Structure formats: structure tokens, C-alpha cells
Amino acid sequence: MAPFDTEGAIFMFNRLILPAFLLLAGPALAQERTQANYGDWALRCESRPQRQCELATVLNNAEGRPQAQLIVGRLHNAGPLLLMAHVPLNVHLPAGIRVEAAGQSFTLAYQRCLAAGCFAMAELPDAALAQLRSEPPGARMVLQDAARQPVTLNLSMSGFGRAQAAMSSRR
């Protein structure tokens, strides 16, 4: 699997995919982006009529090249908290993506593939979020490539608790 651009998936999702689901009219608004780093996680925010933030981390392959991105955020402020993944093309879509952390396993269903990569997501329950805040070791993301071979990427939770607390304070 080839490396990919690590632009924020929620921001990319909102610009490229969400318009296909929602037909919203209105002028484009100037946006301001900010980013703060907490260990291996980044808190990225955009100003809109309402502030929108996401947490993101990049997962590298065995050679140290960016291979995937895991994002926690909301598509809109009133929506549920989502766990999202942005991976390169050439993946086996029916298998979805499995994220394993803190004794929990989350299956993310692929939503769409574009030239920039494939996007998968699932709701992140409050109980699971509480466990992730403890920054458990040994977390990983597992997907299948187009040849149906497993691809396992180590997931660092270092800094997640602080980043999530900062994101909650900005809502």
C-alpha cells in the first residue's frame, strides 16, 4: 500500500464527501485552522459558523512511512463522536477496518473511496472513549489489502487523553 496525504479526514470528508449527502446552500466562509500537538496526537480545529475540531494521528508502516490516519471527531457539533480512518487505495472493502485498543475492538465500515484514499467510520461510544483516554499500550489498526492480506499498523495512544480533554473544552 502506498503512502498518502495526511490531510485531516473530517475536514476532507466535509469538503469532498458530505456535500454528496447533504445539499446545503450558502456562501463559502473564510476558515481559520489551528493545530496543537499532544504526544502522537494532534488537535486540529477550523473556525466556521461554529468551531469544529478533530483529533488525528498518523500510523506508519514498518519502514516508517505514513500509511494511514486515525481521526476522532464529529461531522457536525450536534452529531455523535466518530472514529474514522483514512487509508490509501487498494484495500479490500468488505473486510472494513478493525481498531483494537484497551481490550476493545471497533469495526469501521468503509464509506467511500476517492483519489485521496478510502474513508471508514464508526460511532465511538462514551465507554470506549473513556478507555482510550487511559492511553492503553499495544493498540493497533488492522485492514486487508486488495490481495486480502492483513496489514497491521501499530497505533500510539500517547497524548490521546490530553488531546481529547483539550478538544472537549473547545466545543
DSSP-assigned letters across all residues of 17-54: IHHHH----S------EEEEEETTEEEEEE-SSS-EEE
Give the integer Cα–Cα distance in Å for 143 and 68: 10
CA distances from 145 to 1, 96, 118 (A): 7, 11, 12
Which domain CATH number covers 122? 2.60.40.1880
Strand order in the sheet with 104-114: 33-38, 41-46, 52-60, 66-73, 82-87, 117-123, 104-114, 97-101, 139-144, 150-155
Is residue 51 situated within a structural domain?
A: yes
Is residue 128 situated within a structural domain?
A: yes
Residue 31: the pLDDT is: 61
Q: Could you tell me the mean pLDDT of each successive run of 10 residues in the chain, 171 residues long?
A: 55 48 38 91 88 93 93 89 96 95 91 96 92 92 96 96 93 68
The model carries a pTM of 0.80
Is residue 125 situated within a structural domain?
A: yes
Range(s) of the domain holding residue 162: 36-89+112-137+156-169
Residue 74, strand partner residues: none
Is residue 97 situated within a structural domain?
A: no
Is residue 122 situated within a structural domain?
A: yes
Indicate the length of the chain as a whole number. Answer: 171
Is residue 29 situated within a structural domain?
A: no
What is the tally of structural domains in the chain? Answer: 1
Residue 170: the pLDDT is: 80
Is residue 163 situated within a structural domain?
A: yes
Residue 76: the pLDDT is: 81
Phi and psi at 28, nearest 5°, equal -70, 135
